[in-house]
Amino acid sequence: MGLLPKTIYKTMRILKFGGTSVGSPERMKKLLDIINPAEEQIVVLSAVSGTTNSLVEISAKLLKEDKQAALSLINALNQKYNEFVIELLPEGDFRAQGQEVVNYHFNFLETLVNDLFTPIEEKVVLAQGELLSTTLYHIYLKSIGIPSVLLPALDFMKTDEDNEPDVPYTTRHLQPILDQNKGNKLFITQGFICRNSFGEVDNLRRGGSDYTASLIGAAILAEEVQIWTDIDGMHNNDPRIVKGTKPISQLSFDEAAELAYFGAKILHPQSVFPAQKYKIPVRLLNTMEPTAAGTLITNDSEKGKIKSIAAKDGITAIKIHSSRMLLAYGFLRRVFEIFERYKTPIDMITTSEVAVSVTVDFTDNLDKIIEELHDFGSVEVDTDQSIVCVVGDFSAEKHGYAARVLDSIKHIPVRMISYGGSSYNISLLINTTDKTEALKSLHNRLFE
């Protein structure tokens, strides 16, 4: 587990607010309906919604050396922030401070237009969104007389050579700052951004603010991590597709990871692991309805219950048919090595004595992978597939859930079934065109 924190901040909560929760000056001000400045907490903020997308676009123009287009995007975003500051901060000193912050960040972006632009600068550009939102919120709190401490995430969030977050590093670097500020209760910091093993500005990938919150929670052994979004927790099916879905009150870390990965957009999938490893409860809560119970994610798994159904689109299935597989060992290893060489993760896998099917969702290197797989035999590729995943306690299987799952989709062609990989899920691969029907049908049978 590495280094344990010297001081355990068991009364400290981590509260993460996403882009829409800080998406307008009005929403930003409303955070105080939820944040109680009298309680010990670290507030992790995303960039104002839309900002990171704009910064991605600006970088894309700069990478293509389209300076004019980059400049006009920078100006448009700058204008948005000028208006944001006027609405957020009262006329006078605080507004001037806010304007200075905005000018500083946008002048900086403009200077990048005429310099060499590489993926290293791109990371710096992407970091501006969270730097802006947190600094402006900090000034807002000051303007209404609420003391808070702004923590620079770039001083304590770090990834290692394998691009994995370094939790003990965060413990070592965050704790002294918290210890120095013992008299303060409210801390604000940036989600998403970090430094890599070279010390360069980097990030935890899109949606990574959840991950930041969980990593900080783990690093200081916080009491709880709260992820505030605009839905009342994780639902038992996709609310955009199925009517009458309900929030799930409790999930185990494994169930939550499975659901986050296979479709439930509410939580960054990797953010589950630090919380699980360091046993920090995670609560998913709704900014628009702060008193709703939401979803609590802990180590406990409720016995004998089906929790949720989720689906992930954009899946490609690859079947490798090979007589050389018969009675051979080392075959799967050689197949997997090809995917490994092209840095392509495999999601589902099923095997028979003469064939193996796998699914992937990252297809940038698919052509090269298929070419190499042809050495083993024939290769079949199906695109536009979806993985439907049913999560819950399938451990003893005395409830007949597996049979019920299959029975409820017996009218839908199933390309692959994965069961028994863990005791808490069944995954099915179907054509994406059948997804809506599958989700509805499973819902009726398992929950109604």
- Give the footprint of ligand ASP on this chain (CB under 6 A): 18-19, 46-47, 52, 129, 191-192, 206-209
Q: Minimum distance from CB of 16 to Mg ion (Å)?
A: 9
3-state secondary structure of 269: helix
Q: Which is nearer to ligand ASP, 212 or 441 (CB)?
A: 212
Q: Cβ(175)–Cβ(166) under 8 Å?
A: no
Task: Tell me if 18 contacts Mg ion by CB under 5 A.
Answer: yes
Which residue lies nearer to ligand ASP by CB, 124 or 416?
124
What's the 3-state SS for 82-122? Answer: HHHHHHHCCCCHHHHHHHHHHHHHHHHHHHHHCCCCCHHHH
Our CB check for ligand ASP shows the closer of 77 and 373 to be 77
Closer residue to ligand ASP, CB minimum distance, 208 or 233: 208
As measured in angstroms, the least distance from the Cβ of 161 to Mg ion is: 27
Binder of Mg ion out of 23, 207, 269, 274 (CB under 5 A):
207
Q: How many Å apart are CA 429 and CA 418, to the nearest integer?
A: 9
Select the binding partner of residue 192 from Mg ion, ligand ASP, none (C-beta < 5 to 8 A, by kind). ligand ASP
Q: Which does 19 bind (CB under 5 to 8 A by kind): ligand ASP, Mg ion, none?
A: ligand ASP
- Does position 263 interact with Mg ion (CB under 5 A)? The reply is no
Closest CA to 377 of 334, 315, 340: 334
Give me the helix-helix angle, 331-341 and 366-373, nearest 10°: 150
What's the N-to-C CA distance of the chain in angstroms? 43
Nearer to ligand ASP, 218 or 358 (CB): 218
If binding is defined by CB under 5 A, does position 191 make contact with Mg ion? no
CB of 41 closer than 8 Å to CB of 12:
yes
DSSP string for residues in 225-236? EEEEESSSS-BS
d(CA 251, CA 291): 19
Q: Which stretch binds Mg ion (CB under 5 A): 13-21, 57-65, 167-175, 375-383?
A: 13-21
Closer Cβ to ligand ASP, 206 or 368, answer by number: 206
84 binding partner (options Mg ion, ligand ASP, none; Cβ < 5 to 8 Å by kind): none
The pairing of strands 224-229 and 13-17 is parallel
Q: Name the minimum Å distance from CB 158 to ligand ASP.
A: 17
Q: Are 210 and 285 in contact (CB under 8 A)?
A: no
Site residues, Mg ion (CB under 5 A): 18, 207
